[in-house]
Amino acid sequence: MKSAVISIGNEILLGKTVNTNLAFLADGLAALGAPVVYNVVVNDDADDITRALDYCSSRYDIVITTGGLGPTHDDITKATIAKYFGKELVFQPDLWEYVQSLFAKRGVKAPEINRNQALVPQDFSVLENAMGTAPGLYYHHNGLNYFACAGVPIEMRYVFETHITEIIKKQFPKLHSLTQHTIHTFGISESALAERLDTSALPKGVEFAWLPQTGRVDLRLYGMDQEAVYQGAQDIIRQIPGYVWGLDEDTPAKVLGTLLSQRGLSISLAESCTGGLVAKMLSDEPGASDYLLGGVVSYHNDIKSSVLGVSEETLATDGAVSEQTVRQMVLGVKDLMDSDCAISVSGIAGPSGGSAEKPVGTVWFGFAYRDEVWAQKYILTGSRESIRHKAAEVAIITMIKRLISEDR
């Protein structure tokens, strides 16, 4: 079972949009057992689209196009595929009503140009799109399963997850899906892991891959035999006790959220260089209100003093990026919000602001858990964005490790 993805859109070939849709679909189709083996990116050009359709539809079982389903004149995918498959475009009044209802919700009349969102090539099925006005389309003919999705990632993802996966499962009930397990580590480098891990004893048919992330390493095991992949993952985890903080879809925020929730603990945050990123990550999780009381972004030193109670003497003597400051910040926010746990972060994210003593990337972290308070310093590398991202993850993963340590 082989899939191909045709990505349609000038913006990708102009270099202005990174083709994340391909990564999403490739991941999803591999998981279904219908891996993508070919992807082509073409402009919104009827000849290019037709050539790509022609190439793919004779070679692959599943072909998905993304992009070009919008209402404007440069969106020509629908007309092109209708012509390619020899179908008329038919106006579907219920789709036009749906489009109008979407605009009505926003208190706006649907512009007439959107009428073409209700055109569907004859014999094509409509795949409802709750995230936008352009429905997905499906056409099954001579063993080919052809799908069209909008290019807006949130719409494409919705149509894929809601409809396309179901259709593929129904069309190919015997598909063996690939089993994957991802092991998330922290605090050990890729080469140190490589020296420590023995992957030679992994069960046959289980593949092993290194996936370095920003500031930490993920390990992936995959194969067709579900049980063997699971056993392989357990074997790897046993070899590196203390470095594993999560599995599979886990994110630092999800793992910490689950731990706090299960234990009935609350948390508050005091952030300087991360500027709200730790709070943002924790509140990405639905249900975060169970444990996240809130936080203070004390970007300016005045706020560290006036809101969090960091002493002006500490700021003058030790500086904003110091052990004393993060200790006072974490106690300040824990007290202010009356939480069980608290985290503080203060560092130099760059690109400027570094010194010989405290180079860019120097980040101090403060932690409080019940009556316990401690601080840690890291020197993080990379761009401003990557230093901030790493700092937020270090903050969350360190708290995870503290909470997990009670179970040992």
Q: Which of residues 82-141 bind a copy of itself (CB under 8 A)?
A: 102-103, 105-106, 108, 110-114, 131
Distance CA 139, CA 200 (A): 45
Stretch 58-77 residues interacting with a copy of itself (CB under 8 A):
70-74
Among 76, 167, 240, 288, binds a copy of itself (CB under 8 A): 288
Residue 407 CB, nearest approach to a copy of itself (Å) = 27
Applying CB under 8 A, does 40 fall inside the site for a copy of itself? yes
- By CB under 8 A, name the one of 32, 34, 39, 252 that touches a copy of itself: 39
Sheet architecture: strand order including 216-223:
207-213, 216-223, 179-185, 244-247
What does the block give as tokens for 175?
A: 């598909």
Tokens read off for 361: 């990337």
> Could you tell me the smallest distance in angstroms from the CB atom of residue 123 to a copy of itself?
27
Q: Tell me which residues in 246-275 interact with a copy of itself (CB under 8 A).
A: 269, 271, 273-275
Query: For residue 232, which phi and psi values (nearest 5 degrees)?
Result: -60, -45
> Under the criterion CB under 8 A, does residue 200 sit at the interface with a copy of itself?
no
Of the candidates 194, 224, 234, 242, which one interacts with a copy of itself according to CB under 8 A?
194
Interface with a copy of itself (CB under 8 A), residue total: 107
* Distance (Å) of CA 343 to CA 253, 262, 329, 333, 363: 13, 19, 8, 8, 13
Q: Which residues in 94-186 belong to E strands, given as ranges?
A: 119-121, 125-127, 136-141, 144-149, 179-185
Give residues 218-247 in contact with a copy of itself (rule: CB under 8 A).
220, 222
How many whole angstroms separate alpha carbon 194 and alpha carbon 171?
A: 42
- Contact pattern from residue 314 through residue 353 relative to a copy of itself, giving x for each residue in contact according to CB under 8 A and a dash for the rest: ----------------------xxx-----------xxx-
Q: Which stretch binds a copy of itself (CB under 8 A): 37-45, 121-129, 321-329, 366-374?
A: 37-45
Tally the residues of the chain: 408
277 binds a copy of itself, rule: CB under 8 A? yes
What gap in Å lies between CA 179 and CA 225, rounded to an integer? 7
Alpha helices in 217-373 (DSSP H): 226-239, 252-263, 277-284, 301-306, 312-317, 323-337
Placement of tokens 């067709």 in the chain? 224
Shortest distance, position 68 Cβ to a copy of itself, whole Å: 11
Of 54, 40, 29, nearest in space to 6 by CA: 40
Site string for a copy of itself, 366-395 (x = CB under 8 A): -------------x-xxxxxx-x-------
For residues 139 and 399, which CB has a smaller minimum distance to a copy of itself in the complex? 399
